[in-house]
Structure 1
């Protein structure tokens, strides 16, 4: 009773509430994917996995705008912030419009490339792309201003609407088609826009920013865009390559493996969302930033170790509970895939830390090893096990290089401070 009273007396911080919200959102997204896997079966789930992967790719591209908005929402205030946010909204909308049109125009080619049953799912998905980019800028503003309540609402609205709409149509109308999943994704972008500050979005002429600020923003845009490209390659290339090289049934099995193994990455993303504004704010105040990095690295390392041990100890039970007997062939690879994603998640924290500080070397390192992962899978894909082993090699090398670079920077900064 005394423990309960103590917990009630303690108020959760906005950061803690946001962390709980992200865990709930990730849980909901997992539930969405797990139910699709069970209801559709491996072959049809392979098509769904392509759309879900496209959604992840889109999220990484749009994340460029979100992170740029988040960083400069910390640095800019009043009139300067209003000019900045209006300009970013405009840029994001037209970028989303262009990408959406490209997806719609090349829908048939995408169907052929990824061996899907329909091209209409790509057309429907393309209509939602501009909305997703607007949603990302909106989230970036809340992230930078540390308005974690509003930020949590946008993520929850997107997740819940996609879950309820998609599964509602599939289960109530008994329609098991890829276009249903695409409609659920499209409508969820609209729900994810709320709460939305419409006054900040305008097509009218925007007051130009000072040349110094413009150069600073462009530099961070380029750094972030390049890094998000490496994220797309590392986090999604394996599923798309497996879909290309393997039969539909095997691709569906691999999609289930990737979904379970990536839980480490999705949990790590929660800490990245908190890391960037915290590091930028400390740098602005001239304070030490490494302590924030160490804290989040510690969290992820502990969580990763627990997940790997659980996957190693009872892989068959996990797969039976989450996806069912049809996917049991993936059990021996589960802990190995978890190792690969754990190393990627830790490397990711290092990269985003340096990205927050405008350091570009870790971004280039990630790009090199992202391409290495693709090359390894292209040349070595005799089996699904070999695909996983290639990812472990690439991510192990990436983590080692990131640690070496971090150590080098610490020693270099100490030498400079002594001179």
Structure 2
């Protein structure tokens, strides 16, 4: 809170405050993973990586509700917004309960599938799923209304609580079981709910939305859900497939590589959060939107270039500092993985841009290449290097096609 007050005194805009906050949250999440990697070692960290990957998968599923909430929080007002937000909370909580029960019921099967040492970590994780969906809808209202201070607080609360609770238990009580990590994740969902706007909905009295609004919401929800599914496949299938096909030691090494290499994607994510409500609002006002896309693409280009050059120049030093000597075998692959995630970050912001404009061809393209990446890894996984190469191939093709679509779309008005 003191940081936010200081930033305000420096005349930073709410968007800039949120960007600083996201960098802090990403830094905290990296610290959380790095400490786990160092304390647990490659073999035990492989189990932790499965839970962390499950958390990422959950975040992408819940992001569907967050983005739908964000978009229509811009478009709807007064009683229409009240009816909309109440229905979204109700349905999100219902989906969360169903998914949570499914994870708990199939905990044993998940343990066997991913070669983990315990099924209790899946049971504990499943208990927190409904809370995560409520948290995501809450965040969607802040995102849509551009209340970046509250949005920053909810992300900071989740990150800090997970970091302090998990690492505290491990270091103070010397407990390194996977259930500790699951418990830390569960409790962090509760902290991430605050601030929570209880007064903005009423579950006892839900006014039905007009059919035109309902159709808009359903269409956007289905396409967003499909796109988030492609995000899950592209972002997490490699880690889960490596955990399935390789020994735990190699899977732990790969998890460290993925964590470092995905730095580009997680930084680019904050631009997506700012992009969607801005594009929806500009479209609502009848203004052009391409300039704001190109601004954020420029930011991502600079960040990607810096990270890739650093990974090429100092791979061993980076891995040694972040994870330790046990993980140095991944140094030659670090820059290659960074290239793959950079290309995905570029493709991702183009897809979200067109999703905001209700143009869905880039979403379908992402789905096709998400499946292609998974298929390539399934058929070509002779080594960890080959797994990375397959991702580069898939993401390069995806980026080329997304850029081609953008070029065609920008030419249309000139030819009209």
Aligned to 2:264: 264
Report the alpha carbon displacement of residue 61 of structure 1 after superposing the two structures with TM. 0.1
Q: Which structure 1 residue ranges, 4+ long, deviate > 6 Å from structure 2?
A: none
Q: Give the gaps of 5 or more residues in structure 1.
A: 1-6
Contact 1:90 1:202 in 2 (8 A): no
- Describe the superposition over 1:11-51 as per-residue Cα deviations: whole angstroms up to 9, x where unpaired: 00000000000000000000000000000000000000000
Q: Residues of 1 paired with 2:233 and 2:202: CA distance?
A: 33
Aligned to 1:307: 307
Q: Residues of 2 paired with 1:97 and 1:200: CA distance?
A: 22
Report the alpha carbon displacement of residue 217 of structure 1 after superposing the two structures with TM. 0.5
Report the RMSD for the aligned CA atoms in angstroms.
1.0
- Describe the superposition over 1:388-417 as per-residue Cα deviations: whole angstroms up to 9, x where unpaired: 00000000000000000111111223222x
Report the alpha carbon displacement of residue 198 of structure 1 after superposing the two structures with TM. 1.6
Q: Give the gaps of 5 or more residues in structure 2.
A: 1-6
Q: Go from structure 1 to structure 2 and tell me whether the alpha carbon gap of 1:401 and 1:8 turns closer, same or farther (over 3 Å shift).
A: closer
- Describe the superposition over 1:135-189 as per-residue Cα deviations: whole angstroms up to 9, x where unpaired: 0000000000000000000000000000000001000000000000000000000
Q: Go from structure 1 to structure 2 and tell me whether the alpha carbon gap of 1:32 and 1:359 turns closer, same or farther (over 3 Å shift).
A: same
Q: Residues of 2 paired with 1:240 and 1:8: CA distance?
A: 42
Q: Go from structure 1 to structure 2 and tell me whether the alpha carbon gap of 1:247 and 1:8 turns closer, same or farther (over 3 Å shift).
A: closer
The answer to whether 1:135 aligns with 2:135 is yes
Report the alpha carbon displacement of residue 197 of structure 1 after superposing the two structures with TM. 1.1
Q: Go from structure 1 to structure 2 and tell me whether the alpha carbon gap of 1:16 and 1:119 turns closer, same or farther (over 3 Å shift).
A: same
Partner-residue secondary structure (3-state), 2:252: helix
Aligned to 1:393: 393
Aligned to 1:57: 57
Q: Residues of 2 paired with 1:412 and 1:406: CA distance?
A: 10
Q: Residues of 2 paired with 1:330 and 1:12: CA distance?
A: 39
Contact 2:82 2:201 in 1 (8 A): no
Q: Residues of 1 paired with 2:199 and 2:9: CA distance?
A: 39
Q: Residues of 1 paired with 2:331 and 2:203: CA distance?
A: 52
Contact 2:83 2:201 in 1 (8 A): no
Partner-residue secondary structure (3-state), 1:196: coil
Q: Go from structure 1 to structure 2 and tell me whether the alpha carbon gap of 1:193 and 1:8 turns closer, same or farther (over 3 Å shift).
A: closer
Q: Go from structure 1 to structure 2 and tell me whether the alpha carbon gap of 1:177 and 1:202 turns closer, same or farther (over 3 Å shift).
A: farther
Aligned to 1:44: 44
The answer to whether 1:168 aligns with 2:168 is yes
TM-score where L is the length of structure 1: 0.97
- Describe the superposition over 1:327-371 as per-residue Cα deviations: whole angstroms up to 9, x where unpaired: 000000000000000000000000000000011100000000000
The answer to whether 1:86 aligns with 2:96 is no
Aligned to 1:204: 204
1:19-418 matches, cutoff 5 A: 19-416=19-416
Contact 1:90 1:201 in 2 (8 A): no
Partner-residue secondary structure (3-state), 2:412: helix
Q: Residues of 2 paired with 1:94 and 1:415: CA distance?
A: 48
Q: Go from structure 1 to structure 2 and tell me whether the alpha carbon gap of 1:126 and 1:86 turns closer, same or farther (over 3 Å shift).
A: same
Contact 2:25 2:156 in 1 (8 A): yes
Q: Residues of 2 paired with 1:178 and 1:303: CA distance?
A: 34
Contact 2:73 2:145 in 1 (8 A): yes
Report the alpha carbon displacement of residue 285 of structure 1 after superposing the two structures with TM. 0.2
TM-score where L is the length of structure 2: 0.97
Aligned to 2:3: none
Report the alpha carbon displacement of residue 203 of structure 1 after superposing the two structures with TM. 3.3
Report the alpha carbon displacement of residue 320 of structure 1 after superposing the two structures with TM. 0.3
